[in-house]
Chains A and B, each alone.
Chain A
Amino acid sequence: MTEGIATPGGGWRRADGPPAETRKKKRKGGRRGRGEVAMVDDVEFTSYYGRPIIKPPVWKTPEVPLYLFFGGAAGSAAVLGALGEFTRRPVMTRSAHLFAGGGALASVVLLVADLGRPERFLHMLRVFKPTSPLSVGTYILSPFSGLAVATAGLHVLGRWPVLRRLAGVGSAVFAGPLATYTGVLLANTAVPSWHAAGTQLPYVFGASGMAAGGGITMALTPVEEAAPARRLAVTGAVVELAMMQKVETDHGIVSEPYHEGKAGRLLRAAKACTAAGAAVTVAAGRRRAGAVLGGALLAAGSALTRFGVYEAGMASARDPKYTVVPQRERMAARAVADHASTVTS
């Protein structure tokens, strides 16, 4: 036999290391299952000197997480503002629209600042590609920011109310997609912990935007007018917490980065802020101090969620374990399915 390259496996292992990177994890609970933190207690996998397989995103922090935050919060505020126009809540409308305009402006600045060649921002408008969430997002953000800034400007000028209403409604049309497309933006990558949560992150970000946008509007509005903002904020907080829970538990090993290290700390802080903010809003949202405190906590929770999700994805990209192990599991599942189909047929 031509030994050496001849035998499958053949007992070969890297000369200067163990056969495979072996990691011991504290085992939590019993078997892996839904609703329970899935900790793989002993993962064996091979890698090339422990180097990452995919390239971690080169996006900048805090620009990108802040962009995600402002997009969501400004979007929800714009929806509230548009509805306020037609329900005799002038102060809530004004504060929601002022925040939406400011948030939209901040979003554009942050997005452009993140480019490697900011002066080429307009190249984004050469093409429209449905396969590129960033392209779709550009066509959401551009009209949204234009209309939201116009609405805010008309509030400041205090003139042309019909035009202001039109612009406000226009911005509200783009506001929902703006708050949720960012989930797809992150998930449509090879980053394991984002990609796996691809159908959940839009809900997380949308709800998180509701909590922040509602909370901030509530904090800026007299309590008599702010009832819709309070309700939107609390609804958002509840959905955000529930969806984040699913992201953190549904995906086996790639849910792990959401619990560990910096991402884990950020997300625990986010949960605490969001839960406390919702509780304060329910208990004391009808008092001025309660509204301000609740709104601030909800906004902080929302921002921390974005930073936490961002960090979790970065961590999952840096460690080849999260690329190799799920792909191996997928291959094993496929082999079992293939075997079953050949047996039955």
Chain B
Amino acid sequence: MTSISSASPAFTGKDPDHRLFGPLPDVQGEAGYTESHPARVGFFTDTSVCIGCKACEVACKEWNTLPMDDSHGTRDTMGLSGMSYDNTGQLGANSWRHVAFIEQVRTVDLPMPTFGRPGDDRQGSSPSPAAHDHPDAQAHAQASVLNAEALSEFDPQTGQSGTDKQVRWLMSSDVCKHCTHAGCLDVCPTGALFRTEFGTVVVQQDICNGCGYCVPACPYGVIDRREDDGRVFKCTMCYDRLTDGLMPACATACPTQSIQFGDLDELQARADARLATLQSQGVETARLYGRDEDDGVGGNGAFFLLLDEPEVYGLPPDPIVTTRELPAMWRAAGKAAVMIVGAAVGAVLSSRRPQ
């Protein structure tokens, strides 16, 4: 039987102010779940501790039995991207986690006085002045092993490669954002994409007819069609594991807790604290991405701590859910339809009748 889908928070009339965009305190409730639904879960991916090991990619492929593909999304080929240590290349139908890898350099002024280890001539390898300025900074540093100091001292990410050049590696495990307002879900004409009781966005493979509309609707380029199969695939946040009370495979496999899974509220608080810690240690480039519930997609269920601009990692700097503009487009289509009928009536009325 045909029914108005409850799969989209739009047009349910429950929150007239935020139906197509904006914050939604209770996504599952908006999607029609009753009060007793589980809490919304998510991923917090802290890229400052990612070591680029790709355990998450492997665990995801294993658990979800994803076919092989190369860095261009071509199935059944072994191919190196030739651009970096990243040979996955992008998220796609067969890659639901993708570890981005960026090697960056910069020149530094030489010579600089060096402290610390012999041969270590990087600028300011002495302890951070911030650590001395703040009385509680020492406590901070001790509380977190994975702090900025540690990153700088021990991590190849920021290691020294030459005399006048510094090199750092940025690594970030990308994934479906499980948007609060998911473009893919809004545009799916079959209801194959739906909001789960955990607040995540999942494709029902027995429903999807491969229309492909969700593919260009995702502002992050996540979801894609498996060409030999005809249907679309993307991260389910291990829906099967969640229903059995298990953590998603990637978060379970991550050896550095770069991928953290949990209730979204809790993760958001944890991320805010982590950002404050890093910033108090002078890591001014740290920022949260997808955390802001006032952004164009109402915030992400899977959000990130990044160390550079989003586009450096291949993420859109200011994504919006495409349906935010849909009411205006529908009005235009309605008026244009009236224009056609009006023009046709005008054309008939202004023409002399044949005798």
Residues of A within 8 A of B (CB): 1-16, 45-49, 51-59, 75-76, 79-80, 83-84, 87-89, 114-118, 120-121, 123-135, 138, 172, 175-177, 179-181, 183-184, 187-191, 195, 198-200, 202-203, 205-207, 209-210, 214, 224-225, 227-232, 235-236, 239, 317, 320, 323-324, 327-328, 330-331
B81-105 vs A, Cβ < 8 Å mask (1 yes, 0 no):
1011000011010000000101111
Say yes or no: A183 contacts B316, CB within 8 Å: no
In the complex, residue of chain A having the shortest beta-carbon distance to the beta carbon of B3: A127
B317 with A331: CB separation less than 8 A = yes
Q: Scan B177-205; emit 1 where CB is below 8 A from any A CB, else 0.
A: 00000010011111110000000000000
Complex interface: chain B residues within 8 A of A6 (CB): 128, 148, 152, 282-285
Contact A235 B325 (CB under 8 A): no
Is A176 in contact with B340, judged by CB distance below 8 angstroms? Answer: yes
Contacts of B338 in A (CB 8 A): 176
Within the complex, the shortest CB–CB distance from A215 to chain B, in Å, comes to 13
19 A–B contact pairs at CB < 8 A? A1-B124, A1-B129, A5-B151, A11-B106, A14-B104, A53-B220, A55-B92, A80-B348, A123-B207, A130-B11, A131-B323, A132-B189, A176-B340, A190-B218, A199-B332, A206-B333, A207-B339, A231-B347, A231-B351
Contact A127 B5 (CB under 8 A): yes
Given the complex, which residues of A lie within 8 Å of B188, measured CB to CB?
Answer: 129, 132
Which residue of the partner chain, among B89, B123, B152, contacts A51 with CB atoms under 8 Å?
B89
Judge whether B135 is part of the interface by a CB distance below 8 angstroms: no
| C-alpha gap A229/B347 in the complex (Å) | 7
Chain A residues with CB under 8 Å of B318's CB are 327-328, 330-331
In the bound complex, residues from chain A placing their C-beta under 8 Å from that of B53 are none
Contact status B210-A116, CB under 8 Å: yes
Interface bracket on B: 35 or more
CB distance from B2 to the nearest CB of A (A): 6
Instruction: Contact check, A184 vs B316: say whether CB atoms are below 8 A apart.
Output: no
Contact assessment for A202 and B217 in the assembled complex, using a CB-CB cutoff below 8 Å: no
Is A116 in contact with B212, judged by CB distance below 8 angstroms?
A: yes
Closest chain B residue to A6 by CB distance?
B282
**Whole-angstrom CA separation of A128 from B10 in the bound complex:** 12
Interface string of B134-176 (1 = CB under 8 A from A): 0000000000000011011000011000000011100000000
Which B311-355 residues have C-beta < 8 A from chain A? 311-319, 322-323, 325-326, 328-341, 343-348, 350-354
How far apart are the CA atoms of A58 and B151 in the complex, in Å?
A: 41
Closest residue to A328 on the B side, CB-wise? B317
